[in-house]
Structure 1
Amino acid sequence: MDEETTVYDELGVPRVVNAAGTKTRIGGSLIRPEAVEAMSRAAESFVRLSDLQVRAGELVSEVTGAEAGYVGSGAAACMTLAAAAAIAGDDLGAMSRLPDTEGVPSEIVMPRTHRNGYDHAFRAAGATIVDVGNNDNYLGTGSNGTEPWELAEAITEETAAVGYMEKAFSAPSLETVVDVAHDHDVPVIVDAAAEVPPRENLSAFVEAGADMVVFSGGKAIRGPQTTGILAGKREYVRSAALQHLDMHVAESVWDPPSELFDKESLAGVPRQGIGRTLKVGKEELVGLIAALEAFVEEDQAALDAEWERRLDVVADELADCEGLSLRREPGGKLMVAPELRVEVHPDAAGVDAVELVGSLRKEDPRIFVGSDELQDDLFAVNPMCLDDEEAAYVAERIRSYL
């Protein structure tokens, strides 16, 4: 593999060859060149961030079909802003007290099978998660994990929203959950952080009736890693903006963009809200705009073919390795890109999957592969963040441990 010096080499930090996909812990994805150029130009002058958020929101609204859009410092940040919007609405007093939610409805109802480590972002806004249903369908009993009536029964006067984690196996359907929630005048927040491509998903969840949808800007969209997209109803985006933008200004000269909210409808200038810690710089905002514009114009068929070709390189190199079984999995269901799933048979390979994957991570450069199923002696090679040379290098290094 080309030994070209990187900035990480200069810093004395091992770089990573990424065969795991768009994982935050190893840097997400590679920012699009046009976004890097835009960010560099953005750093050369100043802009009022609220004006820039209006422009970003217009683009988000255009590509998602939502009434409004906004940009936070990552998908988790946008989940926190969504929860804060559902809890506080336009109540400046409630905004100033978050995450203290005393006296304000702050429960977020979720199907139990949708609970995950990222829902901490809801709780960071002061929400209490109420999960319903069970896990029986995954245990093979034939029953559903969560019935619609269970969601309905869990919604009370203390409910601020219903949370939904979008995956191929998510149940009940989003349309069903939306019907239940809206029957009780409660909004639905969808965590769709990694659910693009296909680009059609940018609008699919809004079309299904979700009130707020969250996407990562730093995964397949390939914007700055510290960007996330919030798309949804104008009333919730307005609340998110009020709790996120820098409002530390005298009321006599406060002149926020009317596209975000109507100054005259508010009791005064909000205090710095819970979103202050989730701020986005002008460079990130401009970079996300450039990346999103490029993403919606991208030739997905050509990209799919490129990913398949890189998997061919890895599969051809490993095909005759004793102790390995290979299986190709198509993209578009549980993962965006196709993957090569590699099962390790320790007796024949002389190494198990845990040892192999752990050894790859200790190399310089480090090699990361998909590690979600190590307990079953399985790992995955994902081509999204590899170039052709790196694909060959990953296969060579895997083979070296057998």
Structure 2
Amino acid sequence: MGIYQDFGLKQIINASGKMTALGASAVHPEVAKALSDASMDYVDIHELMLAAGKIIATVTGAEDGCPTSGAAGGIAISVAAVIAGTHLTRIEKLPFSDGLKNEIVIQKGHAIHFGASITQMISLGGGKVVEVGQANHVEKKHIMEAINEQTAAIFYVKSHHAVQKGMQSLETMISIAKEYQIPIIVDAAAEEDLRKYIAMGADLVIYSGGKAIEGPTSGFICGRASLIEACRAQYKGIGRAMKVGKEAIVGLLTALRRYGFKEDLSQEQRRRMLWLIEQIKDINGIEGSIVQDEAGRDIYRAQLKIDSKVLGMSAHELIRRLEEGNPAIYTRNHYANIGIINIDPRPLLPGQEQLIVKRIKEIVEETYEHSI
């Protein structure tokens, strides 16, 4: 029994990934202790924010950093910062930004839904979203033609949710931003490399603290000192509604300090997924294989292709029955509409792949018995 079962909730096996809907990450005991210790004491929040910025800067190679409630809050705050700066009257008017330089240029294939609309997060910061090109094709000229005297920033999304083909590269977007002397904001919420995008020349980079970093529900922005100062200033405006508490900041900083010493488990996770595929290879109607993460990260998932005519149930039906069990098994279902289910090994606790195999076999057997 776990803490959530004490409140009457069913146990979850998370084979979906570090997803907000399932609580993102299970933190290391050292991070959990930091959260607990911080919650039982007091601190000057402004001083804590400044200290956090220095640690974030050290870890990322940026000039400064700003903790946030999450990556989504980081988007709104970053956009607000490039529009209002540290001008208090402007800060207090946001998200109403009429009369200000407020246009945010984004490739159409990056105007994604990540559990919420990314364009809505930009709008919360006062940004007027300018989508350029087509959903699967953007040319450099599309971006350049969209830039005018009202352009506040270019926004780039590095995510498996974003269209991966036909978009302009981050290198191209950065070069355009430099040419026109406007900031470029990179949403790298779930990315694992905390130094790459700053080194490439991005002005502001947004990360989730609860995904690759395996911290608590939190996030941070890193980048140019003047823009980070403006990010912190937004806590006197729209940032107040998405403020991050002392516990989350300390938990985030503890996770960041641990991050560089994390063991690379990608090959071990791949081995576990190969084992899973081997165990179900004799089930008619399910074809297993190993696939790498869509965004190119060193993540290897088990992909199950469901032939509904042979198996006797669709991918959606198998998903439903996995989720209805106790423990409930949540898989990665972005391609369920074409009969594909993915199993992400990263959040699985030891031995849980065995429980997944066992439950799939039970469901298949139940389906077979009912068809006789």
Provide TM-score, normalisation by structure 2. Answer: 0.92
Q: Deviations over 1:131-176 (max 9, x none)?
A: 11113xx4xxxxxx21222211101111111110114736311121
Counterpart of 2:368 in structure 1 is: none
Distance in 1 separating the partners of 2:91 and 2:190:
29
Would you say the 8 A contact 1:360–1:397 is kept in 2? yes
Q: Secondary structure of 2:303's match?
A: strand
Would you say the 8 A contact 1:317–1:396 is kept in 2? no
Would you say the 8 A contact 1:324–1:344 is kept in 2? yes
How many Å apart are 1:392 and its aligned residue? 0.5
How many Å apart are 1:334 and its aligned residue? 4.2
How many Å apart are 1:217 and its aligned residue? 0.3
Q: Does 1:28 align with 2:19?
A: no
Q: 1:161 aligns with which of 138, 153, 156?
A: 153
Aligned length, in residue pairs? 356
Counterpart of 1:238 in structure 2 is: 229
Q: Secondary structure of 1:388's match?
A: coil
Gaps of 5+ in 2: 365-372
Q: 2:349 aligns with which of 387, 396, 402?
A: 387
Distance in 2 separating the partners of 1:331 and 1:161:
29
How many Å apart are 1:391 and its aligned residue? 1.1
Counterpart of 2:237 in structure 1 is: 273
Counterpart of 1:121 in structure 2 is: 121
Q: How does 1:222-237 map to 2 (within 5 A)?
A: 222-225=214-217, 227-237=218-228
Q: Secondary structure of 1:380's match?
A: strand
Q: Does 1:286 align with 2:227?
A: no
Q: How does 1:12-23 map to 2 (within 5 A)?
A: 12-23=8-19
Q: How does 1:122-141 map to 2 (within 5 A)?
A: 122-135=122-135, 138=136
Q: Deviations over 1:367-399 (max 9, x none)?
A: 100100011111001000102321100111112
Distance in 1 separating the partners of 2:339 and 2:294:
24
Distance in 2 separating the partners of 1:167 and 1:287:
24
How many Å apart are 1:40 and its aligned residue? 1.0
Q: CA RMSD in A?
A: 1.5
Counterpart of 2:138 in structure 1 is: 146
The amino acid that maps onto 2:203 is D
Q: Does 1:339 align with 2:301?
A: yes
Would you say the 8 A contact 2:274–2:290 is kept in 1? no
Counterpart of 2:334 in structure 1 is: 372
Would you say the 8 A contact 2:302–2:342 is kept in 1? yes
Distance in 1 separating the partners of 2:56 and 2:20:
22
How many Å apart are 1:15 and its aligned residue? 2.4
Counterpart of 1:142 in structure 2 is: none
Q: Secondary structure of 2:50's match?
A: helix
Q: How does 1:185-224 map to 2 (within 5 A)?
A: 185-196=181-192, 201-224=193-216
The amino acid that maps onto 1:231 is C
Q: Deviations over 1:274-321 (max 9, x none)?
A: 100111111111100111111111122xx1133123213322221211
Q: Deviations over 1:35-73 (max 9, x none)?
A: 101111112210011211122211211121111111100
Q: 2:274 aligns with which of 306, 312, 335?
A: 312
Q: Identity of paired residues, percent?
A: 32
Gaps of 5+ in 1: 139-144, 245-271
The amino acid that maps onto 2:276 is V
Provide TM-score, normalisation by structure 1. Answer: 0.86
Q: Secondary structure of 2:347's match?
A: coil
Q: Secondary structure of 1:202's match?
A: coil
Q: Deviations over 1:97-143 (max 9, x none)?
A: 001102111110011111112232111112111011113xx4xxxxx
Distance in 2 separating the partners of 1:214 and 1:243:
15
Would you say the 8 A contact 1:152–1:181 is kept in 2? no
The amino acid that maps onto 1:233 is R
Q: How does 1:69-80 map to 2 (within 5 A)?
A: 69-80=65-76
Distance in 1 separating the partners of 2:174 and 2:267:
36
The amino acid that maps onto 1:125 is G
Q: Secondary structure of 2:260's match?
A: helix
Q: Secondary structure of 2:234's match?
A: helix
Q: Secondary structure of 1:235's match?
A: helix
Would you say the 8 A contact 2:109–2:134 is kept in 1? yes
